[in-house]
Chains A and B, each alone.
Chain A
Amino acid sequence: MTSRGFSPTGIRFENIEKRYGGLAALRRIRFEIAPGECVALAGRNGSGKTTLLRIAAGLVCPSSGELTFPSAAGASAGAAPVTSKTEAVRAKPSAGFVAHATMVYDELTAEENLLLFARLQQTPNATERVEKLLHEVGLFDRRSSLVRTFSRGMRQRVAIARALLHEPSILLLDEPSTGLDPQGVGWLAATLRQLRDAGCTILMSLHGESEISMLATRAIRLDAGLIVADTRTGAEVRSILTFADA
């Protein structure tokens, strides 16, 4: 997580809509995240947070609209309009994604999981990269244990290590603190702070205020698929995040 050899990248949502059948999950989503910004998404369950994150990750194809990844240098990476799901996956942004689920195999060890995904992503020097990440997330001693035997906090560490395998310049997290004990939340907050300070763009959905929400420099609130609030003012950021909890 230390040596970051990327150019910071932002995310631009241009009139993104997502309909499931006739049901609109996201409507007229239009905002831009500057490179290096740390944005918290708030909103009730079903307000579209997860869909927004999965669209940003390239897992879900928007029904209409465009998703681009402008880099700090001015050029726009992966700017091709995302017309089909497959193209969304192919025009792979450099985002790392931590979903609600762990996205790793319970029947494999921590090391095997990371090695598998490193090989699929064709990470150069996969073995060293995995070893380094295991040290960084503090799981090196347990690397040969099955993920099944891990606590929720340890699984989340594997999940984050998986998302960081390819040294992404964007990190997307879907309620990363759920199920974590205070110690785990502390570790996560420290890790994310380190990433943010290294220039990583972070977009995360959050429930309530915590050590993690303190990192956010901007808060966006979704309601029924619409953006209802968007602020960079410190006090308002806090109020948006706590309001979501109510």
Chain B
Amino acid sequence: MSLLSSTTALLGKELRTEFRSRELLTTTVVFILMVIVLFSFTFDPTYNESRRFGPGLLWLAFLFAASLMLQPCFLREQNNDTLSALRLSVSDPFAIFLAKLIANTLFLLFTEVLMLPIFAVLYNVPVLRVLGQLLLVFFLGSLGVSIAGTALSAISAQARMRELLLPLLLLPLLTPVLVASTQVTVGLLDASPFLEWKGVGFLVVFDVIFLTALWLFGEYLLEE
């Protein structure tokens, strides 16, 4: 019960601070947009080609963007030592992670949804007919990215070279997410679209495993 109320209070804080400055969202949107545009020069984005390469580059853009977006997650808490204040105040430190990973998932989803029509137009892929299924994959994939990324940003915030370290730790760990979500997206953008349930199930398994690991070990990440 206290976990729920602490998480909602903290989630409110995360959303309020972000929507007040909008720093993360704007930079991430611009970054993904740039990657999508630049990628289009590496091959001829006709419908057939895009169906093969589009999903992969889309997810790679999301992953890179996330590894940048997640940097300030715990770094922001160091400025005024607010992390200590949180640790003194919450009864379950998992609430701190839960609020942050929910906020990060929402931020990622928001930018992904914003980028989807632009991607569809630039790469000539029809997305409207599979919009619901695409959003499901986006959600499961972003959740996985946020769980692992929130945990690792607590580590990288306290290391040297942290700007480089987070992508280094995060990207290899997210290989399964990249492979599975790309695969499902390829199926959805096919001429005769289909939802690959095996891939969806795989993403759910990834999310559950890492959420459990974070629940078990998260509190140690906040130690001083």
Contacts and interface: CB of A to CB of B under 8 A. Distances in A.
Q: Do any beta carbons of A and B sit within 8 angstroms of each other in the complex?
A: yes
Interface of A: 54, 57-61, 85-86, 89-90, 92, 97, 99-108, 112, 116-117, 119-122, 162
A105 B224 CA distance: 20
Contact of B89 (A61, A107, A121): A121
Nearest to A55: B224
Given A120-B10, A121-B89, A103 B84 contact: yes
Interface centre among A54, A120, A121 (most CB of B within 10 A): A120
Contact of B224 (A54, A100, A117): A54
A102 B80 contact: yes
Interface string B87-110: 111110100000000000000000
Secondary structure call for the B interface: helix
B198 interface: no
Interface stretch (B15-23, B54-62, B132-140, B154-162): B15-23
A107 B17 contact: yes
Contact of B87 (A89, A107, A112, A122): A89
A86 B223 CA distance: 8
Nearest to A61: B223
A120 B82 contact: no
B85 A60 contact: no
Interface residues of B, number: 28
Contact of A120 (B6, B20, B219, B223): B6
Interface of B: 2, 5-6, 9-10, 12-13, 16-17, 20-21, 79-82, 84-91, 93, 219-220, 223-224
Contacts of B88: 57-59, 89, 92, 97
A162 B2 CA distance: 20
Contacts of A90: 91
Given A108-B16, A122-B5, A86 B80 contact: no
Contact of B13 (A58, A59, A105, A122): A105
Given A60-B224, A105-B80, A162 B85 contact: yes
A112 B20 CA distance: 13
Given A89-B93, A90-B91, A97-B88, A107 B82 contact: no
